[in-house]
Each structure stands twice: as structure tokens, then as C-alpha cells.
Structure 1
């Protein structure tokens, strides 16, 4: 697994695609936080990063599929997966190595956003007038959200040889997993089943953690979600006939 992890991470960091993708992510996020009037921190009148933590999930829906789309699809297209299969590696080594490499890149994309926290911390009328506990909880929520989206991206990349198709499938699944269940509950109006449908979606658990409360049920949800998609991906690899 460590071998795959190092190989994938080196491949990401030696490619301009990763830098361009993360760069666009940070630029667009900066525009939402400081320029666009509806979401600008400067127009809020108080020290908060709510707009940051409400915007990043939707940017993640495009950033993470762009990172993961080549993970397995490129291996299948170029026929290099057979080389991996000849090495003393299990399917779990391959899946976890690629998953952790992509997740590390997502973490790298989040680190520069700490500049926004420092800026708001300094810009408050009273220095440090910001709920740091909620910010920490929100970052934990973002990391877990990123982990869930990466598992979706790895799965999507495992079912096709085309990176664009893998990207499109991952974007759709990320969007549906984040807000699709909540939207379905509003459309279907299933009364007592509304809360169950909403609970199946990622957004409900992300919002809960973002309030600074680490509930074991939310952590278990994210862990189960990630394991489920990785398990399905491993099953697909196990039944490969490439």
C-alpha cells in the first residue's frame, strides 16, 4: 500500500493538472469569500467563516472528481494495471494507496485556506472575535467530507476507462450524496420518512460537525460511507477482466 501511495502522490505532484486544479479551487473560493457581494465576508459585518464552509462542499464536487478521475481509469486505459497485478499487492493495497494519495492532495488544498481564518481573526473589531471551536469542527467536517467524496471518485474511476466519464459520474454522485436525499424528502413529502431520508445524506452530518459538536453518530456515518464505497471499488477490482 505504501508503494502505491508514494507512486500516486508523486504522480499527482509531478503533474500540472493537480496544481492547476487546486489553484482554480483557491481562486474561485477567494472570489466567493472576498469579491462576490452575496457571499463576501466583508459584507457580513461580523467575523465568521460561514460562507467558506458553505461554499467549499460545492467546489469539492468538482475539485475531487478532477483529482480522482485518472486514478484507476488511466490504469485501465493504458493497460498498466496488469503490471500492478503482477506485483505482490492485494486489491486493498491498490485501493487504499490510491485513496490515501488523493485524500492527501485534498488536505494540501485545504491548508492554504487557513489564511482566511487568520485574516478574519485579525480583521475583527475585537482581535480574535471568531468562534475558533466552530472553525475547528468545520475543518474536521470538511476533511471527512473530502474523504467521502474521494471514495466516490475512486469508485467512479474504477468502473470506466474514460476519465471524463469518471469525472461526470463522480460529480453526479457527490452532488446526490450531499444534497440529493434532502431534496428528495422535500419533493416526495413522505412525512415521517423525511428525517430518515435527510439522515442518509452527507449534508445533515456535515452541518452537525460544523457546529463544533463531534457526535459519534456523524463520525460513524462518514466512516461507514467511505468504507462502503471502497469496498465496492475493491469488489470491482477483484472481478476485473482487463
Structure 2
């Protein structure tokens, strides 16, 4: 697994993909938090980071599939997947190596935003007038969300040899799992099942973590979705033996 992890991480860092993704994420969130008047903390007048945690998932919805779309699709198209599968590595080692390399880039993207937290902390009146527990809970939620989107992106990459198709499928699945269930639950026809449908979506558990209360049920939900998507990826890879 370590070999695959290092190989994937080096391939990202040796190309412009990783730097472009991180730069786009930080620039986009920075503009939304500090420049655009509709979402700027300076215009809003409150010491919080709601802009980052409310809009960050939608930015990730496009950037993470852009990272993961090549992981299996490119290997399939170029034929190197056969060489990789003949090495003394299990399917799980290959999948987890690629998965953790993608998660590492997500972490690299999020860590610099701690500067935003420090800035808001210093700008508070009095200094430090910010809900630190809520911010830390939101950061945990954002990291878990990045993990889920990465697992979805890897699954989408495994089902196609075309990177564009993988990207589109990943974006669609990320959107559905994040806010699609909430939209479906808002339809009045569901009755008592609407609450159940809402809890199937990521946004319900993500918002719960954003309150600063780390509920194990929310963490288990995120981990369950990650495991499910990785299991589906394993199923796709194993289909070559059928």
C-alpha cells in the first residue's frame, strides 16, 4: 500500500494537478471569505467561518473529482492497470494506497485555511470572540467530507476508462450524497419518512458536526459511506476475475 501511496502522491506533486487544485481551493475560499461583499466576514460583521464551511463542500464537489478522475481511468486507458495488478499487491492495498494519496491532497488543501481561523480570531471584538469548538467540529466535518468525496471519486474512476466520464459521475454522486437526500426529503409526500431520508444525506451529519458536538453517530455515518464506496471499488476491480 505504501508503494502505491508514494507513487500516486509523487505523480500528483510532479504535475500541476495538485498545485492547481490547492491554489483554486484557497483562492476561491479566500475571495468568498474576505473579498466578495455578499459572503465576506468583514461585511458580515461576525467572527465566524461559516463561509468556508458552508461553501467549501461545493468547491470540493468539483475539485476532488478532478483529483481522483485519473486514478483508475488513466491506468485502464493506458494499459498500466494490468501491470499494477500483476505486482505482489492485493486489490485493497492498491485501492487504499490511491485513496490515502487523494485524502492527503485534501488535507494539504485544508491546512492553510487555519490562517483564516487565526485572522478571524484576531479580528474578534474582543480578540478570540469566536466559537472555537464549532470551528473545530466543522474542520473535522470538512475532513470527513473530503474523505467521502475521495472515495466516491475513486469509485467513479474505477467504472470507466474515460476521465471526463469519471469526473461527471463523481460530481453527480457527490452532489446527490451531499444535498440530494435533503432535497428529496423536502417533498411533502414522504410524510414520516422525510426525516429518515434527510438523515441519509451527508449535509445532515455535516451540519451536526458544525455545531461543535462530535457525535459518534455522525462519525460512523461518514466512515460507513467511505467503506461502502471502497467496497464497491473493490467489487469493480474484482470483476476482472469473473
TM-score normalised by structure 2 residue count: 0.97
Aligned-partner Cα distance in 2 for 1:58–1:240: 34
The residue that corresponds to 2:196 in the other structure is 196
Once the two structures are TM-superposed, the CA of residue 188 in structure 1 deviates from its matched residue by 5.1
Equivalent residue runs for 1:52-131 within 5 Å: 52-131=52-131
The residue that corresponds to 2:40 in the other structure is 40
The alignment covers a number of residue pairs equal to 241
Aligned-partner Cα distance in 2 for 1:9–1:142: 21
Aligned-partner Cα distance in 2 for 1:174–1:188: 24
Per the alignment, in what secondary structure is the counterpart of residue 240 of structure 2? coil
The residue that corresponds to 1:149 in the other structure is 149
Unaligned runs of 5+ in 2: none
The residue that corresponds to 2:16 in the other structure is 16
Aligned-partner Cα distance in 2 for 1:221–1:99: 18
Per the alignment, in what secondary structure is the counterpart of residue 87 of structure 2? coil
The residue that corresponds to 1:29 in the other structure is 29
Aligned-partner Cα distance in 2 for 1:63–1:155: 16
Per the alignment, in what secondary structure is the counterpart of residue 214 of structure 2? coil
TM-score normalised by structure 1 residue count: 0.97
Greater shift in the superposed pair: 196-205 or 232-241: 232-241
Once the two structures are TM-superposed, the CA of residue 45 in structure 1 deviates from its matched residue by 1.0
Aligned-partner Cα distance in 2 for 1:240–1:115: 46
Once the two structures are TM-superposed, the CA of residue 216 in structure 1 deviates from its matched residue by 1.1
Once the two structures are TM-superposed, the CA of residue 17 in structure 1 deviates from its matched residue by 1.6
Unaligned runs of 5+ in 1: none
Q: How has the CA–CA distance of structure 1 residues 221 and 21 changed in structure 2, closer, same or farther, with 3 Å as cutoff?
A: same
Aligned-partner Cα distance in 2 for 1:201–1:155: 18
Once the two structures are TM-superposed, the CA of residue 124 in structure 1 deviates from its matched residue by 1.2
Equivalent residue runs for 1:176-195 within 5 Å: 176-187=176-187, 189-195=189-195
Equivalent residue runs for 1:158-169 within 5 Å: 158-169=158-169
Per the alignment, in what secondary structure is the counterpart of residue 189 of structure 1? helix
Per the alignment, in what secondary structure is the counterpart of residue 7 of structure 1? helix
